Amino acid sequence: MIHTLVIIAVSLSSFFVDAYGNGCLATYSRQKYWRDGDRSLIEFFKTDEAKQSKCGDVYLAVADASQEGQLPDRNELIQFVKDLREQIEDNATIYFTYVGGALPSTGTDAAWAGHFVALVEVHLLFALAPEYGPLEISFDAVFDKTGWSEVFDVVVDTRRHFAAYYPNIPFKVDVRLDHSLDDRQVVDEIMRKADRVSVTAFASHRFDLVDMYRTFLTSTCPHCNDESFRDYKAKVTFVATGDCSAPCGTTLCDDYAFVVPSNIVTAPAQLLASINIARGHVIGRDRFDYFLEANGTLIGLDHFESSRCIYGDGVLAAIGAPSCGADAIKHSQACS
């Protein structure tokens, strides 16, 4: 088993030579590291294992409806972003994410999500965008079509206001979507009005990932695979997970115990290989290239707090994060 997976790792590495895209890996985070002085995420980007992550986009969860119009610890967050920018490449986008699901005391989750846009502009973009961009906004939330329309109306107004001060700095929006979301009206609204979508595709192997890409591009997304595909503005990042507590078959942690020297050898390779397989086979190459731009961040790992186990205990010790190798080995052995 070990020998077989090492061969797979070596053969998959060949995809990096002629791979489509830049191979950069997006990092998604739920933990508010700036709140308690936790430097582990920033320290991660200093490691050799973070080479592909340094050029990828980074998503920071900064607020939800429970804060009701507040950005807690925003001064600490501003300093955190400045420190983070020193460790990642200049063209990597840092996203400020609104996480839905929390209940506000008044109004709706969607209403507070719209208010979040203005808060980020006033308190974060004005303070950071001129020197520490690109900086954008992201939503990890579930709204109906009306809710999303409200959010995007605020985005349009805020974008216009920001452009009056910084006409040459883009103000873009990302939305998180499940690859099989059963609401074509919502998906259509988001694809038309968002600048990027982070599409979750949780599988442990490249061919299963490809099947999920196919589901999104040919079924979930109403017009990604017809002649009106260019009416959509949103570009796509497909997001997998390395969560070692996730069910077998859904996580790149499945092979952890059988890969030498580290699962991180195969995790990006599986993702990159899945993109290469999908291109030209899932939908037409012109359509695929439109949604997954070669110079964009095409793949990502969700969330850093759970996916970081796959980097190995040596990396975790170096960045000051808790070890979890024993749990990762137990998971992967159970999934073999």
Question: In this structure, is residue 14 part of a structural domain?
Answer: no
Q: How high is the pLDDT of residue 162?
A: 96
Q: How far apart are the first and last CA of the chain?
A: 9
| Average pLDDT of span 36-49 | 94
Tokens of 127: 């303070």
Which is nearest to 82 in space by CA: 158, 135, 120?
135
Confidence of residue 71 (pLDDT cuts 50, 70, 90): confident
Q: What's the CATH number where 265 sits?
A: 3.20.20
Q: Is the pLDDT of residue 313 over 80?
A: yes
Cβ neighbours of 227 (radius 10 Å): 8
Question: In this structure, is residue 112 part of a structural domain?
Answer: yes
Confidence of residue 267 (pLDDT cuts 50, 70, 90): confident
Q: How high is the pLDDT of residue 110?
A: 86
The residue behind tokens 């980007």 is 45
Q: How high is the pLDDT of residue 264?
A: 61
Provide the whole-model pTM.
Answer: 0.92
SS3 55: coil
Q: How high is the pLDDT of residue 17?
A: 45
Please answer whether residues 288 and 282 qualify as being in contact, where contact means their C-beta atoms are separated by less than 8 angstroms. Answer: yes
Confidence of residue 131 (pLDDT cuts 50, 70, 90): very high
Q: Is the pLDDT of residue 263 over 80?
A: no
Q: What is the pLDDT of residues 94-126, one digit of tens each?
A: 999 999 876 665 667 888 899 999 999 999 999
Q: How high is the pLDDT of residue 18?
A: 61
Confidence of residue 22 (pLDDT cuts 50, 70, 90): confident
Q: What is the pLDDT of residues 178-212, one digit of tens each?
A: 999 999 999 999 999 999 999 999 999 999 999 99
Phi and psi, residue 182, nearest 5°: -95, 65
Question: In this structure, is residue 150 part of a structural domain?
Answer: yes
Confidence of residue 89 (pLDDT cuts 50, 70, 90): very high
Q: How high is the pLDDT of residue 21?
A: 83
Question: In this structure, is residue 15 part of a structural domain?
Answer: no
**Strand ranges for the chain from DSSP E:** 25-29, 58-64, 94-99, 135-140, 173-178, 196-200, 235-241, 299-302
Question: In this structure, is residue 148 part of a structural domain?
Answer: yes
106 or 328, greater pLDDT: 328
DSSP type of residue 20:
S
Question: In this structure, is residue 25 part of a structural domain?
Answer: yes
Could you give the count of Cα atoms lying within 13 Å of 129 in the half-sphere of its Cβ? 22
Range in 12-21, 48-57, 217-226, 235-244 the model is least confident about: 12-21
Please answer whether residues 301 and 44 qualify as being in contact, where contact means their C-beta atoms are separated by less than 8 angstroms. Answer: no
Give residue 50's domain range.
Answer: 2-9+21-335
Q: How far is CA 87 from CA 41, 46, 51, 83, 121, in A?
A: 10, 6, 11, 7, 24
DSSP type of residue 297:
-
Mean pLDDT of the residues in the chain: 89
Question: In this structure, is residue 66 part of a structural domain?
Answer: yes
Q: State CA 178 to chain mean position distance.
A: 12
Range in 60-64, 67-71, 90-94 the model is least confident about: 67-71
Q: Is the pLDDT of residue 3 over 50?
A: no
Q: What is the pLDDT of residues 158-179, one digit of tens each?
A: 999 999 999 999 999 999 999 9
Q: How high is the pLDDT of residue 333?
A: 92
**Cα separation, 240 vs 187, whole angstroms:** 19
**Percent share of the chain, pLDDT over 90:** 74
Question: In this structure, is residue 105 part of a structural domain?
Answer: yes
Residues with Cβ < 8 Å from 203, sequence gap 6 or more? 209, 211, 212, 240, 249, 250
108 or 251, greater pLDDT: 251
Please tell me the total count of domains within the chain.
1
